[in-house]
Structures are given as C-alpha cells and as structure tokens.
Amino acid sequence: MPVETLTATYLVQLILGVYIVAMALSLVNYVVGEVVTIFATILGFSASMAIAYIVLSRNIVEPILGGFLLLDPLGAWGLIAVSIFGLVSAIYSIGYMRSEVKMEFAVGLEKLRWYYLFFNATMLAMVLSVLSNNIILLWVAVEATTLATAFLVGFHETTTALEAAWKYVVICGVGVGFALFGTALIYAIAVASGIPADQAMLWTGLIANHGSLAKSGLMFPLELGLLLVVFGYMVKAGLFPVHVWLPDAHSEAPSPISAILSGVIVKCALIAILRFYALANVLGLHELMANVLLVVGILSMLVGGMCIYVQRDIKRLFAYSTIDQVGLIATATGLGTGLGILAALMHIIYHALAKALAFLGSGLMLIHTKGKRDFEEVGGLLRARLKFTAAVVTLALLGLIAMPPAPSFFSKVYLFLAAADKSLPVLIAVFVSMIVAELALIQRSIVMVFGGIRGRRHEHGHGEEEEEKETVKAYEEKDLLSCKLACLLLAIIVAALFLLVQPYINLAGIVAKEVAFPLSYLAR
C-alpha cells in the first residue's frame, strides 16, 4: 500500500477513535462534554482535510480496513462537509445551548452531557456513511444518523419537539427500511451471479464485477433493488413526496443541530444515492433511476418554493428551502450527464455551507428575540441594530439565492446547460421550478433583513422595550461569543468561495468523474 494511502488510513482510524472516546467522556458532565467535543471536532477537521488533500490530489480509490471503508473522491468530498460542520456546530453549541438552558428551552445544564453524547454519535455515523464501501455498513451508518439526531431533535422535550422527533424516526425508519430491502436484494443477486460473497457486499466489488451482474439474466430484480435503495435514501434526503418529516425536525431541533441536519445529514443520503447511481450507470440501468430523480427533483423544487411563500416561521422557511435545494441536486443528478453530476456535487457542499450559516444566524435571532420565530415579530434585523446577525444571514441568503459569483450560481448555470442538452420541456420545467423557489426566497430575504419589526410597540411598553434591549445585550456579551465565532468562521469560508470559484469547480470535477466513470478509476 502506498505511503499516502497508509497515512490516510491511519487518519481515518484516528477520526473514528476520537469520536468514540468523545462519546464516552461526554457522559462525565457537560463541561467535559464541551471540551472533548471541541477537541474531537478540531482533530477530526484537521485529519479530514489531510485525507481530502491526499485523495483528491492523487485521485485515490482504495478500499481500506478490510474493504469496509473506501478512500475515494466522493467520500473525501463528503468528509470535507462533515468535518467543517462538525467543528463549526461544536463551537456554536457551547454558547447557544447554555443560552437555551437559561431561557428554559431545555431542562438543565446537566442534560447537555446527553446532547454532546449524541452530537459525537452523529459525527461518527456521518463519517462512516460517507466513507462506507460496504453497502450494508452504509445502510447502518445512514440509519444511525437518524437514531442519534432523533434525540437531538426532541432535546427541548416540548410536545412539538417530541412529535417532530417521532415523525422523523418513523418516516425515515420506514423509508430507510426500503433501502435495506433493496440492498439485500442487490447482494442476493450478486451472489447468485457468481460474485464472491465478500465482494458482493462492497461497492467497489459490485462495480468491478459488473459484467457478472449484467450476464446474470436478473436485470429486472436488480433494477428493482436499485430503485428501492434510491427510494429509501430519498426519504432521508427529504425529497418530495416523502419530505413531510423535514420541516418539523429541522425547525424543532436546536439551531446547531438544524445546521447539521440541513447541511450534512441530508447530503449523506444524497451521497449514498450517487454511489448507487454510479453502479446503475455501469450496469446500463441508470435511465429509469435518472428519470425518477429528475421528476422528484423538479417537484421538490416547486413544492419547496411554494411553501417558502407562505412560511412565517424562520426556521421552517429554511427547512423548506432545503427541500428546494436537495430537489435541485436530485434534478442535476437525474439529467444523467457529466455536467449535471458536476452541478450536483458543487451544490452539495456550497448549499450545505450557506444553509448551515442561515440556521446558525437564525439561532442568534432566536436568542436575541427570546425564541420568537415569526416574521411579523423578528423581521428587519438591520432596524433592530443586530448588525452582526444581519450580516451573517445576508451572506447566507446571497449564497442560497445564487448571487454571482457564488459557486451556487455556477452550479445552477451548469444545471441549465445540462437541462438544455436533455430536451426543451425539461429545460422549461427546471427553469419554472427554480424561478418559483428563487423569487420566494428573495422576497422573504428582503423582509428578514430590511423589513421593520412589527408588533413590538403594541405588545410592550417603553420600559419593557428597554428591558428587552438590556437582555439582548447581556446575551451578546456573556453567552454568544462562541456563537459569533462559529458564524464568523463559517462566513469566512462562504465568502472565500466567492473568490475561489475555479479551484472549487476543479475539485468538484474530480469527484464528478468518479461518479460518471467509476470503471476508469477502479482500473488504474
């Protein structure tokens, strides 16, 4: 094994080990949980960036740890997202969760040790999901992200939070159950085709032995298995019509968890879909899967965009925006071209960055306004003199609406070009669905940042208003330093990519080639 691959393997083991240790130590008390979580995410971020550099600079595709995990460009791409949001959310959580406890959103400080336990469990599951080569382990990891984050969604223990958590577990559990059935069907067909059992469980093994699968005469059940897998992971990704869990879960979770759910968790499911799309592609069975993703993606953009128009709750607005954006990624993948896959991969990370920043900014708004989420009460950040929060949310919204030269602008341009190659009706459908979503988000963005705060003078006297301002000031100085630091770090990354578009496109292109042409990578 080359020294670079060996180094990356050791770094993967380090990441997995440090999150397991952090889970155990988090139970000591909440202060230890905070410290070990910060340490684990810093170490995880550093190791992940080193792995991504090694893999992407050398185009490595190498099974490791007995074939259970895989070093490859697609996994490295996902690992970048996981590590960034893990670190930022961990920093943000310190001040934000303490502030929530003080405002009686949670039951007490000691409960935070359970928060950090499940936070680290989520990080471990996400790392495994993006690096899995074993298709059974992939399913286990994706399901583990559901179970770990379900406790975090219901962390506040309110009726709505617990209902959202149960809805999340039940719907995603049933959906991912379809993925398990499809995975088992693919494995059974692979073994029946003469592929060794150990290779039949591996994504690289299935790709390398695609000829045996193609000659098996079992193409219909194989295609059925692939469709079941895609449907199951579609539920986890929050695509229409199986999206109903997403607005509740994302809006009821604490803001740092909302950022992870919207920024990374749904992307883990999309990366799983891309792996099976690559398998379908080499088997010549991608056309039906692509058409399903195309139709579902366009409908998700339309539904997400229309729901944004009627939302008054800030966090639910961002949640419906996620449905729109994952619909865009599914549409780009479903177009079935290299340009479409490039657009999807570019959008996976940049949307994650911008959406996470939006949720973290909304968390600052919740603290400033004592939990108010209605546009009628919190619209107009600049008029409220919350300039830092306004700047954070504005930058996030510029990324979400694809303001040039954001990478999201170029990913949407590539999407249009890929749709134009497909057919005129597809181009029109993509254009209309995208315009609906963009106009809705722009309209809400203007109200959020520039619209006046209404209703406050009718609800409070002058003395109460001054008291509220003092409370806001106290939270800013004592509790929100870590929140602002996390927002600042993420904002720097989002803004930097405005200036580094070409290198970003080049890196996404490396990953797109693996998804579109996996055989050429495995043959080297």
- Distance CA(325)–CA(332), nearest Å, equals 11
- Among 21-25, 321-325, 371-375, 479-483, which range has the highest average pLDDT? 21-25
- Higher-pLDDT residue of 451 and 485 is 485
Q: What are phi and psi of 381, to 5 degrees?
A: -65, -40
Rounded to an integer, the average pLDDT of 42-48 is 95
* pLDDT for position 476: 47
Nearest to 27 by CA among 113, 94, 97: 113
Question: Per the structure block, which two tokens stand in for 77?
Answer: 């791409």
Least confident of 88-102, 177-191, 192-206, 465-479: 465-479
Amino acid symbol at 374: D
The contacts of residue 464 (CB under 8 Å, 6+ apart) are none
Which pair of structure tokens corresponds to residue 206?
Answer: 């299935």
The residue type at 149: T
Cβ partners under 8 Å of residue 190, min gap 6: 199, 200, 205, 206, 209, 212, 213
Q: Worst-scoring range by mean pLDDT, 8-17, 326-335, 377-386, 504-513?
A: 377-386
pLDDT (0 to 100) of residue 474: 40
Rounded Cα gap, residues 103 and 97, in angstroms = 10
Nearest to 325 by CA among 352, 306, 292: 352
Whether pLDDT at 217 is above 90: no
Q: From CA 519, how far away is CA 222, in angstroms rounded?
A: 19
Q: Which run of H or of E encompasses 106?
A: none
Residue with the bigger pLDDT between 380 and 303: it is 303
Q: Inform me whether the pLDDT recorded for 10 exceeds 90.
A: yes
Q: Is the pLDDT of residue 459 over 50?
A: no
Name beta bridge partners: 134: 202
Into how many domains does the chain fold? Answer: 1
Residue 213 has pLDDT above 70, yes or no: yes
Instruction: Report residue 523's pLDDT band, with 50, 70 and 90 as the boundaries.
Output: low
Instruction: State the pLDDT at residue 464.
Output: 38
- Please check the confidence at residue 221 and state whether its pLDDT lies above 80: yes
Instruction: Report the distance separating Cα 137 and Cα 140, nearest Å.
Output: 5
Predicted model pTM = 0.89
> Maximum distance among all alpha carbons in the chain?
79
The pLDDT, as a whole number, for residue 473 is: 44
What is the mean predicted confidence (pLDDT) over 51-75? 91
Confidence of residue 519 (pLDDT cuts 50, 70, 90): low
Confidence (pLDDT) at 472: 43
**Residue 434: its H or E element:** helix 424-450
Instruction: State yes or no: cis peptide before 405, omega within 30 of 0.
Output: yes
Phi then psi for residue 63, to 5 deg, are: -65, 140
Structural domain including 327 reads 3-522
* pLDDT at 380 > cutoff 80: no
- List 62's β-bridge partners, or say none: 71
pLDDT digits (tens, 9 = 90+) for 303-354: 888 888 777 777 888 888 888 889 999 999 998 888 999 999 999 988 888 8
User: Residues 6 or more apart from 384 whose CB is under 8 A from it?
Assistant: 368, 378, 453
Q: Which pair of structure tokens corresponds to residue 182?
A: 């499809």
Instruction: Tell me whether residue 513 is exposed, middle or buried, using C-beta atoms within 10 angstroms of its C-beta: 0 to 12, 13 to 18, 19 or more.
Output: middle
Mean pLDDT throughout 283-296? 87
Question: pLDDT tens across 232-259, in order?
Answer: 999 999 898 888 888 888 888 888 888 8
For residues 21-45, average pLDDT = 92
Please answer whether residues 90 and 115 qualify as being in contact, where contact means their C-beta atoms are separated by less than 8 angstroms.
no
Q: pLDDT tens-digit profile of 89-101?
A: 999 988 888 877 7
Q: Which of 329, 357, 342 lies closest to 504 in space, CA to CA?
A: 342
| Model pLDDT, residue 84 | 92
The more confidently predicted of residues 457 and 137 is: 137
Quote the Cα angle for 46-51-57, to 5°. Answer: 125
Question: How much is the pLDDT for 456?
Answer: 42
Instruction: Name the more confident of 165 and 423.
Output: 165
Tens digit of each residue's pLDDT (9 = 90 or more) over 410-457: 888 888 888 888 777 777 887 777 777 777 777 776 766 666 444 444
**Exposed, middle or buried, 423 (CB in 10 Å: 0-12/13-18/19+)?**
exposed
For the chain, what is the mean pLDDT?
84
